[in-house]
A and B are shown apart, each in its own frame.
Chain A
């Protein structure tokens, strides 16, 4: 009972109620459910090809130790062998036929012993296969995929910020005929999911000659209703007097837009930038139909086509997945507060 008292003590005078205990149990189970799969993937991405095939799998990248034995070109797998006398010895395997394995002592490469395969156990060591990551850049055109993804994300985000802030400026700071309809028209696109106009979007992109072109993924994505809405709501809070004062000083409207309104909207622009980066980095369906040649693949498309292959090279695929989720994870770690408040206030994703 004393132990329980101690565990349930809190900083205040109150003890933890049983519902509080339940709450924390729920939270920790949730923590495990949400992060364990990702951690498992991360740890697995350091496994060598042979370790990947092991069953049952281990969390850490253990793989069988190999040794170089004189007289053999390739490194040989190391086993712990139980010899007839009941004595344990570490030996390398030269060859195996059926249930008999030919083993050799590392120190005395001339003497070979035949043992039953049930008498030996593999010797494991912790080995991080960094080559899973470094090979990506040499063996595959991974650099191209990475570049395509980065290019699309950066350019589309910059254009999104520019186009959406221009529209938001006009919709919040001007009074012109048809303004309301324009706003409604832009917001209405929220109701039109990209999945239902897939075929004609493909046609339009084909007709403007942007098929298999990174711009074919960038352009359709730069006019986001969410962005216009977010920025307009923010710009409405900027006092009109500032703009009037600038007009008195004969500043052109364009100057007012980018010298006064844009810098003042920085917080909203930051939120939109974070969203846009994530949207574009994670985009799948549009790139899938627009970019069909592998030299234009984004990371997401490359992952998809890799996993669809007959013999999936999981060690490379896992490393690639980790690189793909890295930027988003960093954004999450450092900017989580902006995102969650952004969603809670605007209700958009």
Chain B
């Protein structure tokens, strides 16, 4: 505590000076300066540089020593001789990564929101120890992606519990993480396992905001529980559901860490997603193609913008719908 006040006292003269020079009306700038400096240098400046990278070629890290190549990076990424056959594309891994990411996002978001919704509905019932049960589903959310991946890698390895179960049941063991289909399934499963608690919590908050008397009125009218669910709960939960869907989609499109540790993108490129493509082109491979990586991240950014705009549209539509009722 004494150290803390010593530290703050040390900064005092600096701010007194600032107060005298700037006056009270402009002192606010001094307080926001550290924050602005950090986001300026590490967020907004990089956005600008990203554009420079995407439009220049070569392997030089310094943006202004790189030869201008215009849209060449984008051409490398997107050009195919025959768009119906991925192997004719100049960067077929990129296309595969896009395909994988879309497939992953649709499956993961759809299933996860469904499971979260069911869990939230269950948690919203009259149950003993609700705080405890709410925490249960939330625990994996706090674990780091690396830890999550290692937990499952340990269970799924060829000598792991899952295969032990199969062998005891008299079946042949499966290489869960080196079989393309299974590896993809497990990336979806593990990422649902790790993140569903977060979305459950948001949906639960939405459920608890629905007035109880609506259900009492429904019971009075002898509405079945199913009818109460489809006519009261789901419509009133719609705004939360949209938020959850879009948030989950924005995260799913950026999936990287868990999968990177769990499968390393393999087997082949079966579980390689866009962010891993960016990481590999920019940092992991022998020649660091910063321009290509930057172009790919701009493509990802454009996609995220579309998602965000869709959210705004949907929320506005659902709000308008509620008012109209």
Contact = CB atoms under 8 A, between A and B. Distances in A.
Contact of B35 (A186, A200, A328): A186
Interface centre among B8, B167, B282 (most CB of A within 10 A): B8
Contacts of B201: 340, 343-344
B144 A289 contact: no
Given A166-B34, A189-B39, A37 B155 contact: yes
A221 B149 CA distance: 24
Given A23-B122, A281-B144, A332-B135, A195 B204 contact: no
Contact of B304 (A53, A174, A193, A332): A193
B150 interface: yes
A163 B122 CA distance: 41
The interface residues of chain A, by DSSP majority, are classed as helix
Question: Main SS of the interface on chain B?
Answer: helix
A19 B124 CA distance: 13
A171 B32 CA distance: 8
Given A40-B161, A170-B32, A317-B150, A196 B301 contact: yes
Given A27-B133, A185-B36, A340-B201, A195 B138 contact: no
B198 interface: yes
A99 interface: no
Contacts of A198: 278-279, 282-283, 293, 297
Interface stretch (B21-29, B76-84, B316-324): B21-29
A1 to B, nearest CB: 24
A254 B5 CA distance: 12
Contacts of B146: 282, 284, 300, 303-304, 324
B159 A253 contact: no
Given A57-B159, A176-B26, A176-B28, A347 B202 contact: yes
A40 B154 contact: yes
A164 interface: yes
B140 interface: yes
A7 interface: no
A30 B143 CA distance: 17
Contact of A34 (B24, B53, B137): B137
B142 A199 contact: no
A24 B294 contact: no
Interface string B143-159: 11111001111110001
B164 interface: yes
Contacts of B182: none
Contacts of A321: 147, 150-151
Interface in A201-225: 201-204, 206, 208, 219-220, 222-223, 225
Interface string B196-218: 01100110110000000000000
A223 B250 CA distance: 21
Contacts, number: 275
A41 interface: yes
Interface of B: 8, 11-12, 15-16, 19, 24-32, 34-36, 38-39, 41-43, 45-50, 53, 61-63, 118-119, 122, 125, 127, 131, 133-147, 150-155, 159-161, 163-164, 167-168, 193, 197-198, 201-202, 204-205, 225, 243, 250, 254, 256-257, 260-261, 264, 275, 278-279, 282-283, 290, 293-294, 297-298, 300-301, 304, 308
20 contacts: A19-B225, A23-B125, A55-B163, A169-B31, A176-B26, A186-B35, A191-B308, A195-B254, A198-B278, A199-B290, A203-B63, A219-B38, A220-B42, A281-B144, A282-B142, A332-B135, A332-B139, A339-B138, A340-B138, A349-B198
Interface of A: 19-20, 23-24, 26-27, 30-31, 33-35, 37-38, 40-41, 44, 53, 55-57, 162-164, 166-167, 169-171, 174-179, 182, 185-186, 189, 191-193, 195-204, 206, 208, 219-220, 222-223, 225, 228, 252-255, 257-258, 278, 281-285, 288-289, 300, 303-304, 307-308, 314, 317-318, 321, 324-325, 328-329, 331-332, 336-337, 339-340, 343-345, 347, 349
Given A20-B125, A285-B279, 15 more contacts: A37-B152, A37-B155, A55-B164, A176-B26, A198-B278, A199-B293, A223-B43, A252-B16, A253-B27, A255-B12, A257-B31, A284-B144, A284-B145, A331-B142, A343-B201
